[in-house]
Structure 1
Amino acid sequence: MKKYMGNKLAILLFIAPALAIFILFDFIPIVQVFGYSFTDWNGLTMPTFTGLKNYIKLFGDKVFVTSNRNQLIFAIIITVYQMLFATVFAITISDKKMKGRKFLRIAYFIPVILSVTVVCQLWGSIFNGNGLLNKLFEAAGSDYSQNWLGDRYKAIYVISFVNAWQWMGYQFALIVAGIKSIPSDYYEAAKIDGCSNVRAHRKITIPLLAETYKFCLIISVTGGIKAFTEMNILTGGGPNKSTYTLTYMMYNAAFKKSDYGYGLAAATVMVLECMMVMLLINFIFRDKDQGKEEEKSRRKRNA
């Protein structure tokens, strides 16, 4: 193994296929999107270079502000909901004495394998004006009634909940896998020292899941920034564009209005926002020991 690890040609041959796929299907399309965002292009004819016109138009669009606000709301709701409930459920079923662990593990993950369309139709029938939720209020003798998806102020929260409910199981599976990787000796030592289960999980489980939480956080926050499917199915971006996101702006401009330059400008901003979020999360979760080593190296260089 050491022989091959020290052979740069062997390393290059191993990574070449994956690198080629990444360049062909990820890097080159991103560069093309960035380039076409500076043009006036309908997707068929030759693009015309227009400089920063698309970006000036984008940043001056009121829907752009609404879209970014919706992405922030969406990201916060799904992150808090998914990571909180996924952590509680994962820790709960990690207790081997608990009955029904296998059933609960499957039950929590079932929404993930369902089609997004099916999930949206299900919750749409619950939250619409004549839906199940309003019927329950009526059955309870209350006059309270809302068209949850037709209210421009409530719709984004309802859509965020639908996404959070469906994909919580994915975060749950990741956290369960993270808990399984923690040696049981730590918990046995904590029990000998008189720690309760809650204190043991707070002092052992949560800190040792830092890398898992980092990955979960990146998935949920970037997922909020890229939100599209639920908006498209449940509200179509409405009412009155109140549930637009940058992805929906891109879709509307490119595929409905054939204004690909403007749509790709929105896509470029979205990609940059995702990259900034990933860098910020990596910075927050950076290894403290690595930071100390970097500080020592810096002092040595200065000395």
Structure 2
Amino acid sequence: MKKFYSNKIAIVLFALPALALFTVMVFYPIVQVFLKSFYDWNGLGSGTFIGLDNYTTLFKDTVFHLSNKNALIFAIVITVFQMTLATIFSIVVSNKKMKGRGFLRVSYFIPVVLSVTVVCQLWLAILNTDTGLLNAIFKALGIDFQQNWLANRHKAIYVIAFVNAWQWMGYQFALLMAGIKSIPSDYYEAAKIDGASSIMAHRKVTIPLLKETYKICLTISLTGGVKAFTEMFIMTKGGPGNATYTLTYLMYKAAFREFRYGYGMAAASMLVLQCLAIILIINWLFRDKEERSERKCNKRMARQLSQ
């Protein structure tokens, strides 16, 4: 095995197909997006080079700032909702003494396998002002809280974020369940011997050992929230007005409705940079404290040696 890993030619040959596929399918399109963002382009021909004009216009656009605000709200809502419920449900279902564990696992994951279109249509029916189930429940309970849920420009983004969070919570639940199953039972037995309660054992054992799983979950939910599009497109078309615009929807409208592809590519470039920034920040936050302190010690030693 050591001989194989020392053979650089073999490593390159095995990595080359995946690298070529990544270059063609991911890296090259991203590069083209950045390049086209410097052009006044309608999607046909070569376009006219205009430098940073698209970015200047984008940063002055109030819809761009509203889109970023909505993306932030969307990302925070789905992250808090999904990770909180997924953690609680995964800990509860992981208890072997609990009855109906298999049924609950399937129930939590069912929304994930449904089409986004089906989920959006389901919630459009539930949220309907006149015939919707939600308003009907309030009416049956004698609560005067009849709402036009998606027509309120201040509430619509939260409602759509809830729909997304409801559908994809099961995905986070599955990841956390897999993480809990990988934790050795000896740790819980040791905690029980030390007198820790079930809640304390999960707080001191389960959650810390799920750090890497939480890192993945956080990355998925935050980047997914920033680039949200489908729910807005199906449920509100970005409305009322532009109240539920996100950067992805702004890019879609500019490129495919107004044929301002250069402007749309500028919005797409900002979206790529935002997702990259989120990933880098999450990686930085989840670095081990020991690793940080070790790096500081190494830098300190290097300075002392240089002196």
User: Is TM more than 0.5 here?
Assistant: yes
Identity value in percent = 65
1:136 positional shift: 1.7
1:118 aligns with 2:118: yes
Name whichever of 141-150 and 238-247 sits farther off.
141-150
Matched residue, 2:297: 296
Name whichever of 182-191 and 285-294 sits farther off.
285-294
Matched residue, 1:161: 162
- TM-score relative to the length of structure 2: 0.97
Matched residue, 2:178: 177
- TM-score relative to the length of structure 1: 0.98
Q: What is the rounded CA distance, in whole Å, between the counterparts of 2:266 and 2:94 in structure 1?
A: 46
User: Deviation per CA, 1:55-87, whole angstroms, max 9, x where unpaired?
Assistant: 111111111111011001000000000000000
1:180 positional shift: 0.9
Alignment of 1:1-303 (within 5 A): 1-130=1-130, 131-303=132-304
Q: What is the rounded CA distance, in whole Å, between the counterparts of 1:280 and 1:293 in structure 2?
A: 20
Aligned residues: 303
User: Deviation per CA, 1:129-185, whole angstroms, max 9, x where unpaired?
Assistant: 121111222222334311101111110000000000000000000001111111111
Q: What is the rounded CA distance, in whole Å, between the counterparts of 2:242 and 2:128 in structure 1?
A: 18
1:292 positional shift: 2.5
Q: What is the rounded CA distance, in whole Å, between the counterparts of 2:256 and 2:180 in structure 1?
A: 44
Q: What is the rounded CA distance, in whole Å, between the counterparts of 1:101 and 1:135 in structure 2?
A: 32
Residue 274 of structure 2 aligns to which amino acid in structure 1? E
Q: What is the rounded CA distance, in whole Å, between the counterparts of 2:105 and 2:73 in structure 1?
A: 29
Residue 139 of structure 1 aligns to which amino acid in structure 2? A
Q: What is the rounded CA distance, in whole Å, between the counterparts of 2:225 and 2:189 in structure 1?
A: 39
Residue 185 of structure 2 aligns to which amino acid in structure 1? S
1:300 positional shift: 2.4
Q: What is the rounded CA distance, in whole Å, between the counterparts of 2:9 and 2:49 in structure 1?
A: 42
Q: What is the rounded CA distance, in whole Å, between the counterparts of 2:129 and 2:229 in structure 1?
A: 23
Name whichever of 292-301 and 9-18 sits farther off.
292-301
Residue 96 of structure 2 aligns to which amino acid in structure 1? K
1:34 positional shift: 0.3
> What SS does structure 2 have at the residue aligned with 1:258?
coil
> What SS does structure 2 have at the residue aligned with 1:67?
helix
Gaps of 5+ in 2: none
1:289 positional shift: 2.2
Q: What is the rounded CA distance, in whole Å, between the counterparts of 1:34 and 1:23 in structure 2?
A: 15
Gaps of 5+ in 1: none
Q: What is the rounded CA distance, in whole Å, between the counterparts of 2:222 and 2:82 in structure 1?
A: 11
1:45 positional shift: 2.0
1:99 positional shift: 0.7
User: Following superposition, which runs of at least 4 residues in structure 1 exceed 3 angstroms of deviation?
Assistant: none
Residue 108 of structure 1 aligns to which amino acid in structure 2? Y
Q: What is the rounded CA distance, in whole Å, between the counterparts of 2:295 and 2:199 in structure 1?
A: 35
1:236 positional shift: 0.5
Pairwise CA RMSD of aligned residues?
A: 0.9
Residue 68 of structure 1 aligns to which amino acid in structure 2? N
1:22 positional shift: 0.8
1:251 positional shift: 0.3
Q: What is the rounded CA distance, in whole Å, between the counterparts of 1:239 and 1:257 in structure 2?
A: 19
> What SS does structure 1 have at the residue aligned with 2:195?
coil
Residue 180 of structure 1 aligns to which amino acid in structure 2? K
